[in-house]
Structure 1
Protein backbone atom coordinates (compact mmCIF):
# COMPACT_ATOMS: atom_id res chain seq x y z
CA UNK A 1 0.00 0.00 0.00
CA UNK A 2 2.84 2.38 0.80
CA UNK A 3 6.34 2.80 -0.59
CA UNK A 4 7.79 3.40 2.85
CA UNK A 5 7.43 0.68 5.47
CA UNK A 6 8.43 1.08 9.12
CA UNK A 7 9.88 -2.12 10.58
CA UNK A 8 11.60 -3.21 13.75
CA UNK A 9 13.35 -6.32 15.00
CA UNK A 10 16.03 -7.27 17.50
CA UNK A 11 18.51 -5.02 15.67
CA UNK A 12 16.36 -1.92 16.09
CA UNK A 13 14.01 0.14 13.92
CA UNK A 14 14.35 1.18 10.31
CA UNK A 15 12.27 2.38 7.37
CA UNK A 16 12.48 0.56 4.05
CA UNK A 17 12.00 2.82 1.02
CA UNK A 18 10.73 1.04 -2.10
CA UNK A 19 10.15 4.16 -4.19
CA UNK A 20 13.83 5.03 -4.35
CA UNK A 21 17.03 3.16 -5.11
CA UNK A 22 18.29 3.73 -1.57
CA UNK A 23 18.12 0.14 -0.31
CA UNK A 24 20.96 -2.27 -1.08
CA UNK A 25 20.42 -5.80 -2.35
CA UNK A 26 21.41 -7.06 1.10
CA UNK A 27 18.72 -4.91 2.72
CA UNK A 28 16.07 -6.26 0.33
CA UNK A 29 17.18 -9.81 1.06
CA UNK A 30 17.06 -9.13 4.81
CA UNK A 31 13.55 -7.68 4.49
CA UNK A 32 12.25 -10.65 2.49
CA UNK A 33 13.84 -13.18 4.82
CA UNK A 34 12.53 -11.55 8.01
CA UNK A 35 9.01 -11.02 6.65
CA UNK A 36 8.82 -14.65 5.48
CA UNK A 37 8.44 -13.85 1.79
CA UNK A 38 11.35 -16.12 0.83
CA UNK A 39 9.79 -18.96 2.79
CA UNK A 40 6.41 -18.47 1.13
CA UNK A 41 7.95 -18.64 -2.34
CA UNK A 42 10.47 -21.41 -1.66
CA UNK A 43 7.91 -23.78 -0.16
CA UNK A 44 5.31 -23.06 -2.86
CA UNK A 45 2.83 -21.85 -0.26
CA UNK A 46 1.78 -19.25 -2.81
CA UNK A 47 1.95 -19.39 -6.58
CA UNK A 48 1.57 -15.68 -7.24
CA UNK A 49 3.13 -13.05 -5.01
CA UNK A 50 0.92 -10.36 -6.54
CA UNK A 51 -2.28 -12.29 -5.79
CA UNK A 52 -1.06 -12.99 -2.27
CA UNK A 53 -0.35 -9.34 -1.54
CA UNK A 54 -3.71 -8.35 -3.00
CA UNK A 55 -5.40 -10.81 -0.64
CA UNK A 56 -3.48 -9.41 2.32
CA UNK A 57 -4.55 -5.89 1.35
CA UNK A 58 -8.19 -6.93 1.32
CA UNK A 59 -7.84 -8.50 4.75
CA UNK A 60 -6.21 -5.54 6.41
CA UNK A 61 -8.54 -2.88 7.77
CA UNK A 62 -7.30 0.47 9.04
CA UNK A 63 -7.78 -0.39 12.72
CA UNK A 64 -5.69 -3.52 12.32
CA UNK A 65 -2.84 -1.54 10.84
CA UNK A 66 -3.00 1.05 13.60
CA UNK A 67 -3.00 -1.62 16.30
CA UNK A 68 0.01 -3.37 14.82
CA UNK A 69 1.92 -0.09 14.54
CA UNK A 70 1.09 0.75 18.15
CA UNK A 71 2.21 -2.63 19.45
CA UNK A 72 5.44 -2.44 17.47
CA UNK A 73 6.15 0.97 18.96
CA UNK A 74 5.48 -0.31 22.48
CA UNK A 75 7.88 -3.21 21.92
CA UNK A 76 10.52 -0.83 20.63
CA UNK A 77 10.15 1.56 23.57
CA UNK A 78 10.30 -1.35 26.00
CA UNK A 79 13.56 -2.56 24.43
CA UNK A 80 15.17 0.83 25.10
CA UNK A 81 13.79 0.93 28.66
CA UNK A 82 15.30 -2.50 29.33
CA UNK A 83 18.70 -1.26 28.20
CA UNK A 84 18.74 1.31 31.02
CA UNK A 85 18.52 -1.45 33.63
CA UNK A 86 15.90 0.38 35.71
CA UNK A 87 12.85 -1.13 37.36
CA UNK A 88 9.80 -0.76 35.14
CA UNK A 89 6.17 -1.85 34.82
CA UNK A 90 3.75 -2.18 31.88
CA UNK A 91 0.19 -0.85 31.73
CA UNK A 92 0.09 0.51 35.27
CA UNK A 93 -2.89 2.49 36.54
CA UNK A 94 -2.61 5.71 38.53
CA UNK A 95 -4.09 4.14 41.64
CA UNK A 96 -1.46 1.39 41.60
CA UNK A 97 1.31 3.98 41.23
CA UNK A 98 -0.05 6.00 44.15
CA UNK A 99 -0.29 2.98 46.41
CA UNK A 100 3.12 1.55 45.50
CA UNK A 101 5.19 4.72 45.81
CA UNK A 102 2.95 6.99 47.92
CA UNK A 103 2.64 9.66 45.21
CA UNK A 104 -0.47 11.80 44.87
CA UNK A 105 -1.58 11.88 41.24
CA UNK A 106 -4.97 13.43 41.97
CA UNK A 107 -4.31 16.35 39.64
CA UNK A 108 -4.05 13.92 36.71
CA UNK A 109 -7.01 11.78 37.73
CA UNK A 110 -9.24 14.77 38.59
CA UNK A 111 -9.21 13.81 42.27
CA UNK A 112 -9.79 10.16 41.48
CA UNK A 113 -12.87 10.65 39.30
CA UNK A 114 -11.18 9.40 36.11
CA UNK A 115 -9.05 6.34 35.46
CA UNK A 116 -5.73 6.54 33.67
CA UNK A 117 -3.18 3.90 32.78
CA UNK A 118 0.35 4.52 31.55
CA UNK A 119 1.90 2.23 28.94
CA UNK A 120 5.07 2.05 31.05
CA UNK A 121 6.18 3.24 34.46
CA UNK A 122 9.90 3.51 35.18
CA UNK A 123 11.16 3.83 38.76
CA UNK A 124 14.53 5.35 39.56
CA UNK A 125 15.86 6.16 43.04
CA UNK A 126 14.94 9.82 42.55
CA UNK A 127 11.77 9.78 40.48
CA UNK A 128 8.84 7.88 38.97
CA UNK A 129 8.22 8.27 35.22
CA UNK A 130 4.83 7.67 33.59
CA UNK A 131 5.34 6.91 29.89
CA UNK A 132 2.85 6.96 27.01
CA UNK A 133 3.80 5.78 23.54
CA UNK A 134 2.21 5.63 20.09
CA UNK A 135 3.03 5.60 16.39
CA UNK A 136 0.93 7.22 13.67
CA UNK A 137 1.67 6.26 10.07
CA UNK A 138 -1.15 8.44 8.76
CA UNK A 139 -2.98 11.59 9.79
CA UNK A 140 -6.41 11.78 11.41
CA UNK A 141 -8.44 13.32 14.21
CA UNK A 142 -6.92 10.89 16.72
CA UNK A 143 -3.57 12.68 16.55
CA UNK A 144 -5.04 16.04 17.52
CA UNK A 145 -7.04 14.46 20.32
CA UNK A 146 -3.94 12.68 21.64
CA UNK A 147 -1.80 15.83 21.51
CA UNK A 148 -4.40 17.83 23.43
CA UNK A 149 -4.84 15.09 26.01
CA UNK A 150 -1.11 14.73 26.65
CA UNK A 151 -0.64 18.49 26.76
CA UNK A 152 -3.17 18.54 29.61
CA UNK A 153 -1.40 15.69 31.44
CA UNK A 154 1.91 17.52 31.03
CA UNK A 155 0.48 20.66 32.57
CA UNK A 156 -1.27 18.82 35.40
CA UNK A 157 1.79 16.77 36.34
CA UNK A 158 4.33 19.60 36.43
CA UNK A 159 3.84 20.27 40.13
CA UNK A 160 3.79 16.63 41.26
CA UNK A 161 6.94 16.08 43.28
CA UNK A 162 8.91 12.98 42.34
CA UNK A 163 6.93 12.32 39.15
CA UNK A 164 7.48 13.10 35.47
CA UNK A 165 5.32 12.48 32.42
CA UNK A 166 7.06 11.15 29.29
CA UNK A 167 5.62 10.83 25.79
CA UNK A 168 7.30 8.85 23.00
CA UNK A 169 5.72 9.17 19.57
CA UNK A 170 6.67 9.01 15.91
CA UNK A 171 5.27 8.49 12.43
CA UNK A 172 4.55 10.41 9.24
CA UNK A 173 1.04 11.20 10.48
CA UNK A 174 2.46 14.02 12.58
CA UNK A 175 3.50 16.04 9.52
CA UNK A 176 -0.08 17.24 9.03
CA UNK A 177 -0.72 17.56 12.76
CA UNK A 178 2.63 19.17 13.59
CA UNK A 179 1.06 22.32 15.03
CA UNK A 180 -0.80 20.33 17.67
CA UNK A 181 2.36 18.38 18.40
CA UNK A 182 4.31 21.64 18.71
CA UNK A 183 1.83 22.95 21.30
CA UNK A 184 2.44 19.87 23.44
CA UNK A 185 6.19 20.08 22.86
CA UNK A 186 6.19 23.60 24.29
CA UNK A 187 4.80 22.43 27.64
CA UNK A 188 6.13 18.85 27.83
CA UNK A 189 9.82 18.63 28.61
CA UNK A 190 10.12 14.90 27.98
CA UNK A 191 8.77 14.39 24.46
CA UNK A 192 10.81 11.98 22.33
CA UNK A 193 10.81 10.10 19.03
CA UNK A 194 12.59 6.96 17.82
CA UNK A 195 15.75 8.86 16.87
CA UNK A 196 15.94 10.32 20.39
CA UNK A 197 15.83 6.81 21.88
CA UNK A 198 18.52 5.64 19.50
CA UNK A 199 20.65 8.58 20.67
CA UNK A 200 20.35 7.52 24.31
CA UNK A 201 17.54 9.79 25.54
CA UNK A 202 16.36 7.26 28.15
CA UNK A 203 19.81 6.74 29.62
CA UNK A 204 20.13 10.50 30.13
CA UNK A 205 16.59 10.88 31.43
CA UNK A 206 16.75 8.05 33.97
CA UNK A 207 20.32 8.69 35.16
Structure 2
Protein backbone atom coordinates (compact mmCIF):
# COMPACT_ATOMS: atom_id res chain seq x y z
CA UNK A 1 0.00 0.00 0.00
CA UNK A 2 1.39 3.40 -1.00
CA UNK A 3 2.25 5.57 1.97
CA UNK A 4 1.12 9.17 2.34
CA UNK A 5 4.14 11.46 2.27
CA UNK A 6 2.56 14.37 4.16
CA UNK A 7 1.26 12.09 6.89
CA UNK A 8 4.70 10.46 7.14
CA UNK A 9 6.49 13.78 7.33
CA UNK A 10 4.04 15.11 9.91
CA UNK A 11 5.62 12.70 12.38
CA UNK A 12 9.09 14.28 12.10
CA UNK A 13 10.69 15.37 15.38
CA UNK A 14 12.05 18.75 16.45
CA UNK A 15 14.98 17.18 18.24
CA UNK A 16 16.49 13.91 19.38
CA UNK A 17 18.94 15.46 21.82
CA UNK A 18 20.00 13.20 24.65
CA UNK A 19 20.98 14.38 28.13
CA UNK A 20 24.68 14.32 27.30
CA UNK A 21 24.22 16.13 23.97
CA UNK A 22 24.57 19.67 25.28
CA UNK A 23 27.85 19.45 27.18
CA UNK A 24 30.31 16.60 27.55
CA UNK A 25 31.24 17.41 31.15
CA UNK A 26 33.56 14.43 31.45
CA UNK A 27 35.65 15.89 28.63
CA UNK A 28 35.50 19.37 30.18
CA UNK A 29 36.72 18.12 33.57
CA UNK A 30 39.43 16.02 31.94
CA UNK A 31 40.80 18.91 29.88
CA UNK A 32 40.88 21.30 32.82
CA UNK A 33 42.42 18.70 35.14
CA UNK A 34 45.36 18.39 32.75
CA UNK A 35 46.17 22.05 33.46
CA UNK A 36 45.25 22.08 37.14
CA UNK A 37 48.73 22.85 38.49
CA UNK A 38 49.48 25.58 35.98
CA UNK A 39 46.06 27.19 36.42
CA UNK A 40 46.50 27.28 40.19
CA UNK A 41 49.90 28.94 39.77
CA UNK A 42 48.29 31.62 37.64
CA UNK A 43 45.64 31.98 40.31
CA UNK A 44 48.23 33.75 42.47
CA UNK A 45 47.86 36.72 40.12
CA UNK A 46 44.21 37.28 41.09
CA UNK A 47 44.03 40.64 42.85
CA UNK A 48 47.73 41.38 42.33
CA UNK A 49 48.70 45.04 42.67
CA UNK A 50 51.97 44.43 40.83
CA UNK A 51 50.73 41.97 38.23
CA UNK A 52 53.37 42.63 35.59
CA UNK A 53 56.20 42.06 38.07
CA UNK A 54 54.46 38.98 39.48
CA UNK A 55 53.82 37.55 36.02
CA UNK A 56 57.49 37.98 35.10
CA UNK A 57 58.44 36.17 38.30
CA UNK A 58 56.07 33.29 37.49
CA UNK A 59 57.45 32.91 33.96
CA UNK A 60 60.95 32.78 35.39
CA UNK A 61 60.11 29.97 37.81
CA UNK A 62 57.23 28.19 36.08
CA UNK A 63 57.40 28.90 32.33
CA UNK A 64 55.03 25.99 31.68
CA UNK A 65 52.10 28.18 32.76
CA UNK A 66 52.21 29.58 29.24
CA UNK A 67 50.30 26.55 27.95
CA UNK A 68 47.25 27.76 29.94
CA UNK A 69 47.05 31.15 28.27
CA UNK A 70 45.21 30.15 25.04
CA UNK A 71 42.47 28.49 27.09
CA UNK A 72 41.90 31.72 29.01
CA UNK A 73 41.07 33.31 25.66
CA UNK A 74 38.94 30.35 24.52
CA UNK A 75 41.49 29.37 21.87
CA UNK A 76 42.42 25.77 21.03
CA UNK A 77 45.65 26.59 19.18
CA UNK A 78 49.22 26.68 20.50
CA UNK A 79 50.08 29.69 18.36
CA UNK A 80 48.14 32.95 18.44
CA UNK A 81 48.65 35.81 16.01
CA UNK A 82 47.97 39.39 17.12
CA UNK A 83 48.65 42.77 15.56
CA UNK A 84 48.30 46.44 16.44
CA UNK A 85 50.01 49.71 15.59
CA UNK A 86 53.30 48.10 16.65
CA UNK A 87 52.93 45.40 14.00
CA UNK A 88 52.08 41.71 14.09
CA UNK A 89 53.52 38.86 16.12
CA UNK A 90 52.98 35.12 16.46
CA UNK A 91 52.89 34.08 20.10
CA UNK A 92 54.03 30.53 20.76
CA UNK A 93 52.43 28.70 23.70
CA UNK A 94 53.70 25.24 22.76
CA UNK A 95 55.67 22.85 24.91
CA UNK A 96 58.86 23.78 23.08
CA UNK A 97 58.88 27.44 24.06
CA UNK A 98 58.88 26.81 27.80
CA UNK A 99 61.00 23.65 27.88
CA UNK A 100 63.83 25.29 25.98
CA UNK A 101 63.50 28.40 28.17
CA UNK A 102 63.67 30.82 25.24
CA UNK A 103 60.72 32.88 26.36
CA UNK A 104 60.55 36.48 25.13
CA UNK A 105 59.12 37.65 28.46
CA UNK A 106 58.48 41.23 27.35
CA UNK A 107 56.39 39.94 24.47
CA UNK A 108 54.19 37.83 26.71
CA UNK A 109 53.78 40.67 29.19
CA UNK A 110 52.61 42.82 26.27
CA UNK A 111 50.24 40.05 25.18
CA UNK A 112 48.69 39.73 28.64
CA UNK A 113 48.23 43.49 28.86
CA UNK A 114 46.74 44.06 25.41
CA UNK A 115 44.39 41.06 25.48
CA UNK A 116 42.93 42.19 28.81
CA UNK A 117 44.05 39.17 30.80
CA UNK A 118 46.02 41.29 33.28
CA UNK A 119 42.88 43.34 33.95
CA UNK A 120 40.75 40.21 34.31
CA UNK A 121 43.10 38.90 36.99
CA UNK A 122 44.29 41.99 38.84
CA UNK A 123 40.84 43.60 39.16
CA UNK A 124 39.37 40.41 40.67
CA UNK A 125 36.82 40.17 37.86
CA UNK A 126 37.20 36.45 38.46
CA UNK A 127 37.90 34.80 41.80
CA UNK A 128 39.38 31.52 40.57
CA UNK A 129 41.38 30.90 37.40
CA UNK A 130 40.55 27.19 37.62
CA UNK A 131 36.80 27.86 37.82
CA UNK A 132 37.06 30.39 35.01
CA UNK A 133 38.92 27.86 32.84
CA UNK A 134 36.21 25.30 33.54
CA UNK A 135 33.63 27.77 32.29
CA UNK A 136 35.64 28.49 29.16
CA UNK A 137 36.04 24.77 28.47
CA UNK A 138 32.29 24.36 28.88
CA UNK A 139 31.70 27.07 26.29
CA UNK A 140 34.22 25.57 23.90
CA UNK A 141 32.63 22.14 24.26
CA UNK A 142 29.28 23.54 23.15
CA UNK A 143 30.86 23.88 19.71
CA UNK A 144 31.04 20.10 19.65
CA UNK A 145 27.27 19.74 19.58
CA UNK A 146 27.24 19.59 15.80
CA UNK A 147 29.52 16.56 15.83
CA UNK A 148 27.58 14.92 18.65
CA UNK A 149 24.31 15.68 16.90
CA UNK A 150 25.54 13.99 13.77
CA UNK A 151 25.91 10.74 15.67
CA UNK A 152 22.60 10.88 17.57
CA UNK A 153 20.53 9.44 14.72
CA UNK A 154 23.16 6.78 14.03
CA UNK A 155 23.14 5.77 17.70
CA UNK A 156 19.33 5.65 17.69
CA UNK A 157 19.18 3.48 14.57
CA UNK A 158 21.87 1.19 15.94
CA UNK A 159 19.92 0.71 19.16
CA UNK A 160 16.92 -0.59 17.18
CA UNK A 161 19.15 -2.85 15.09
CA UNK A 162 20.52 -4.37 18.30
CA UNK A 163 17.05 -4.71 19.83
CA UNK A 164 16.08 -6.86 16.87
CA UNK A 165 18.82 -9.37 17.61
CA UNK A 166 21.51 -8.29 15.18
CA UNK A 167 25.07 -8.57 16.48
CA UNK A 168 27.83 -6.10 15.65
CA UNK A 169 30.61 -7.69 13.63
CA UNK A 170 28.44 -10.71 12.84
CA UNK A 171 25.07 -9.75 11.37
CA UNK A 172 25.52 -5.97 11.26
CA UNK A 173 28.51 -3.77 10.62
CA UNK A 174 29.21 -0.09 11.21
CA UNK A 175 30.81 2.31 8.72
CA UNK A 176 31.43 -0.16 5.93
CA UNK A 177 32.82 0.76 2.52
CA UNK A 178 31.65 -0.60 -0.82
CA UNK A 179 34.89 -2.49 -1.43
CA UNK A 180 34.56 -4.13 2.00
CA UNK A 181 31.02 -5.29 1.19
CA UNK A 182 32.18 -6.71 -2.13
CA UNK A 183 35.16 -8.39 -0.54
CA UNK A 184 33.13 -9.96 2.27
CA UNK A 185 30.09 -11.21 0.35
CA UNK A 186 31.07 -10.99 -3.31
CA UNK A 187 28.28 -8.56 -4.20
CA UNK A 188 28.95 -6.56 -7.36
CA UNK A 189 28.29 -2.94 -6.40
CA UNK A 190 29.67 -1.46 -9.61
CA UNK A 191 26.33 0.26 -10.24
CA UNK A 192 26.87 2.56 -7.25
CA UNK A 193 30.67 2.80 -7.38
CA UNK A 194 31.02 3.78 -11.03
CA UNK A 195 32.57 0.37 -11.68
CA UNK A 196 34.99 0.71 -8.79
CA UNK A 197 36.13 4.26 -9.54
CA UNK A 198 34.16 5.85 -6.69
CA UNK A 199 34.02 4.88 -3.03
CA UNK A 200 30.98 4.99 -0.79
CA UNK A 201 30.67 4.28 2.92
CA UNK A 202 27.39 3.21 4.51
CA UNK A 203 26.66 4.08 8.13
CA UNK A 204 25.56 0.48 8.69
CA UNK A 205 25.32 -2.76 6.77
CA UNK A 206 22.89 -5.44 7.93
CA UNK A 207 23.32 -8.96 6.59
CA UNK A 208 20.47 -11.44 6.61
CA UNK A 209 20.18 -14.85 4.95
CA UNK A 210 18.62 -13.47 1.79
CA UNK A 211 19.71 -9.85 1.57
CA UNK A 212 22.44 -7.31 2.34
CA UNK A 213 21.19 -3.86 3.41
CA UNK A 214 23.25 -0.68 3.08
CA UNK A 215 21.94 1.87 5.58
CA UNK A 216 22.24 5.65 5.94
CA UNK A 217 20.99 7.51 9.01
CA UNK A 218 20.72 11.26 9.55
CA UNK A 219 18.69 13.87 11.39
CA UNK A 220 18.25 17.50 10.41
CA UNK A 221 16.95 19.81 13.11
CA UNK A 222 17.47 22.94 10.99
CA UNK A 223 17.29 23.90 7.34
CA UNK A 224 20.26 24.10 5.01
CA UNK A 225 21.38 23.66 1.42
CA UNK A 226 22.81 20.23 2.26
CA UNK A 227 19.33 18.74 2.61
CA UNK A 228 18.42 19.21 -1.06
CA UNK A 229 21.69 17.64 -2.16
CA UNK A 230 21.23 14.74 0.26
CA UNK A 231 17.72 14.02 -1.03
CA UNK A 232 18.89 14.12 -4.65
CA UNK A 233 21.96 11.93 -4.08
CA UNK A 234 19.98 9.34 -2.11
CA UNK A 235 17.34 9.26 -4.83
CA UNK A 236 20.07 8.40 -7.33
CA UNK A 237 21.55 5.84 -4.94
CA UNK A 238 18.16 4.19 -4.49
CA UNK A 239 17.64 3.91 -8.25
CA UNK A 240 21.13 2.46 -8.71
CA UNK A 241 20.77 -0.13 -5.95
CA UNK A 242 17.46 -1.31 -7.41
CA UNK A 243 19.52 -2.90 -10.20
CA UNK A 244 21.70 -4.93 -7.80
CA UNK A 245 20.52 -8.39 -6.90
CA UNK A 246 20.73 -9.26 -3.22
CA UNK A 247 21.36 -5.68 -2.08
CA UNK A 248 18.99 -2.96 -0.86
CA UNK A 249 19.46 0.63 0.24
CA UNK A 250 17.68 1.76 3.42
CA UNK A 251 17.50 5.38 4.59
CA UNK A 252 16.46 6.45 8.08
CA UNK A 253 15.94 10.20 8.32
CA UNK A 254 13.99 12.69 10.40
CA UNK A 255 13.99 16.27 11.66
CA UNK A 256 11.99 19.44 11.14
CA UNK A 257 14.81 20.83 9.03
CA UNK A 258 13.36 18.87 6.12
CA UNK A 259 10.47 21.34 5.90
CA UNK A 260 12.61 23.61 3.73
CA UNK A 261 13.53 20.75 1.38
CA UNK A 262 10.18 18.98 1.44
CA UNK A 263 9.77 18.77 -2.33
CA UNK A 264 13.13 17.09 -2.93
CA UNK A 265 12.49 14.70 -0.06
CA UNK A 266 9.07 13.86 -1.49
CA UNK A 267 10.62 13.01 -4.87
CA UNK A 268 12.93 10.56 -3.14
CA UNK A 269 10.09 9.20 -1.00
CA UNK A 270 8.00 8.50 -4.10
CA UNK A 271 10.62 6.26 -5.74
CA UNK A 272 12.34 4.75 -2.70
CA UNK A 273 10.93 1.65 -1.06
CA UNK A 274 12.96 1.77 2.13
CA UNK A 275 12.86 5.29 3.55
CA UNK A 276 11.77 5.56 7.17
CA UNK A 277 11.60 7.98 10.10
CA UNK A 278 11.91 7.57 13.88
CA UNK A 279 8.22 6.77 14.21
CA UNK A 280 8.72 3.88 11.82
CA UNK A 281 11.60 2.65 13.97
CA UNK A 282 9.40 2.76 17.07
CA UNK A 283 6.65 0.89 15.21
CA UNK A 284 8.95 -2.03 14.47
CA UNK A 285 10.09 -1.41 10.90
CA UNK A 286 13.53 -2.96 11.51
CA UNK A 287 11.98 -6.32 12.29
CA UNK A 288 9.73 -6.08 9.21
CA UNK A 289 12.39 -5.08 6.70
CA UNK A 290 15.56 -6.87 7.72
CA UNK A 291 14.49 -10.46 7.11
TM bucket by the smaller chain? 0.7 to 0.9
2: distance between equivalents of 1:152 and 1:115?
Answer: 15
TM-score if structure 2 supplies the norm length?
0.52
Structure 2 portions without partners, runs of 5+:
1-13, 26-130
Q: How big is the shift at 1:67? A: 2.0
1: distance between equivalents of 2:200 and 2:261?
Answer: 24
Contact 1:94 1:105 in 2 (8 A): yes
TM-score if structure 1 supplies the norm length?
0.72
* Larger relative strand fraction: 1
Structure 1 portions without partners, runs of 5+:
10-30, 37-45, 47-51
Aligned pair in 2 of structure 1 residues 115, 5: CA closer, same or farther (>3 Å)?
closer
**Deviation above 3 Å: which 4+ runs of structure 1?**
58-61
- Return the structure number with greater relative CO, CA threshold 8 A, min gap 6: 2
Larger radius of gyration: 2
Matches within 5 A, 1:43-122: 56=139, 60-61=142-143, 64-86=144-166, 87-122=171-206
Contact 2:211 2:247 in 1 (8 A): yes
Aligned to 2:240: 156
Q: How big is the shift at 1:8? A: 3.9
Q: How big is the shift at 1:176? A: 1.2
Aligned length: 166
Aligned to 1:26: none
Q: How big is the shift at 1:5? A: 4.7
1:20-58 Cα distance to aligned partner (Å, 9 max, x none) = xxxxxxxxxxx9xxx98xxxxxxxxx8xxxxx7xx74x7
Contact 2:17 2:149 in 1 (8 A): no
